[in-house]
Every structure is written in C-alpha cells, then in structure tokens.
Amino acid sequence: MQFIPYRMIRIQPRDLRQKLEKEGAFVLTNNNAPFALMVNIEPDNIEETIYLATQIRAQQAVSALRDGARETGTQQLTAEEIEAEIQSVRSLRHA
C-alpha cells in the first residue's frame, strides 16, 4: 500500500484524487507517521462503506481489549470471577 504525505491534500488535490481512483486506497502520513487510511468509494456504496469502516474500528477495539487482557493476565478469569468484579463495581457506583 502506498503512503502519501498529508500535505498533498492541500498542495496537489487533483493528483491525490487521481492516485486514489487508480490505487483504490492509501495511507496518509504526517511527519512520516501513518495516521489515516483513505479509501476510494462509489457514491452508491457510501452506506455500506461506512458500515464496514465502523466494523473495522470495532474489531480494532476488541483486539486492543484482548491484548490488554493478555498483558494483565485477566484473560484467564472465570465467568464467576468476571461476574464478581462486575457486582463489585456496581456496588461502588451505588454507594
């Protein structure tokens, strides 16, 4: 996948659009660090594309939660231990 500097949006918008139509997608960078994915979309598919992008972000969040659980060892909690933790937090909230 091609990496494109963010400033290209401002400096060469026509070239950027042509690249996007040709390549289909690329990564935007700022100071050589990737920060966004730009994807070419068809006007009649915008809702589906937004839905799929939302699913990607949700999957990234789930992956981050799983990574955090592995790092802290909480992925080995039993269902009973999870329920006890939930009840503990809820009781503190109502206190």
Tokens matching residue 67: 């990574």
Q: For the domain bounded by 1-40, which CATH number is listed?
A: 3.40.1620.10
Instruction: Read off the pLDDT of residues 16-52 as tens digits, 9 standing for 90 and up.
Output: 999 999 999 999 999 999 999 999 998 899 999 999 9
Instruction: Read off the pLDDT of residues 64-86 as tens digits, 9 standing for 90 and up.
Output: 999 998 999 888 888 898 899 89
Determine the pLDDT at residue 5.
95
- How many residues belong to the chain? 95
What is the average pLDDT across 2-12? 94
- CA–CA separation, 31 and 42 (whole Å): 30
Residue identified by tokens 């659009």 is 17
Task: Give the residue extent of every domain in the chain.
Answer: 1-40, 43-95
Q: Which residues contact 28 (CB under 8 A, 6 or more apart)?
A: 3, 4, 5, 6, 9, 34, 35, 36, 37, 38
- The pLDDT confidence band at residue 1, using thresholds 50, 70 and 90, is confident
